[in-house]
Amino acid sequence: MQFADVNGVTLHYQLIGGPASKPVIVFANSLGTDFRIWRDVIIRLAGDFAIVTYDKRGHGLSGVGTFPYKIDDHVDDLAELLDFLNVKDAIICGLSVGGLVAQGLYAKRPDLVRALILCDTAHKIGTADFWNERMATLEQSGIESIADTVLQRWFTPPFHRDSSAALAGYRNMLIRQPLAGYAGTCAALRDADFTQAASRISVPAICIVGDQDGSTPPDLVLSLAKLIPNARYEVIENSGHIPCVEQPEMLVAIILAFIDEFKLGGKSNG
């Protein structure tokens, strides 16, 4: 396992080497998960690209730090991790809150970002009332009290019906996240708004969404794509909020087509 002390917190990360002639792909995970959600994507890309993935603060094996968080805390964590790893000009792939972190990273440190892959995310996710209500529920009853509702948004009905063992595993992942880290990130989501910043994105970008996403529905993700100049937009069929779990082959195909279309395969990491 690999750990780094950055921005006042210990981050658990994974660096997988790849050709120096190709860009590094960085994966940022969603609320209530850790970097294991990217496994079935990473195994299809490993060897062709260097890969960085990590548990954001308050998740997985990373430290909790001081909470509640601001989205800039997550952004600065990733920026310092990439500086620590001497990675620049990377392709940043973020899911849900990870997509907000990716947008924030571009706004703050464009030298680190060659392109953006924004999965099941938006320029703003949810309302203040929604996140305040969730945080109040968490404080009173814990993560397990919302787990079933969250899983309904994460995965499609066929996944719930046919993948009971996997569903139980992802439920365990969710409820075992540190409560402070989960609630702290809810606060970051409540306050994050990249509506204005999205229009200033000038690197290649693609917005991807599962057709049955219950957390960031297709229309919301499309609204992000319309804000970003020349952004691509793709819908993955038979997927909920976490296509890297339900439809990894399709997600990888879209990622590779995007890299090929914009000729992103040249040397990029410092």
* Angle, in degrees to the nearest 10, between helices 179-191 and 71-84: 110
Residue 186 CB coordination number (10 Å): 24
Mean pLDDT of the chain: 97
Regarding the domain delimited by 2-261, which CATH topology (the fold level of the hierarchy) does it fall under?
Rossmann fold (3.40.50)
- pLDDT value at residue 120: 98
pLDDT class of 268 with cuts at 50, 70, 90: very low
CA dist list (Å): 14 to 28, 48, 86, 226, 269: 11, 16, 14, 33, 16
- Mean pLDDT calculated for residue range 73-97: 98
What is residue 202's three-state secondary structure?
A: coil
- Burial 51-62, CB ≥16 within 10 A → b, else e: bbbbbbbbbbeb
DSSP class of residue 56 equals P
Among all chains, which residue has been given the structure tokens 């002639």? 21
- Mean pLDDT calculated for residue range 95-122: 98
- Give 170: exposed, middle or buried? Use CB within 10 Å, 0-12, 13-18, 19+: buried
In tens, the pLDDT along 164-218 reads: 999 999 999 999 999 999 999 999 999 999 999 999 999 999 999 999 999 999 9
Domain ranges of the chain: 2-261
pLDDT class of 266 with cuts at 50, 70, 90: confident
pLDDT for residue 267 is more than 70? no
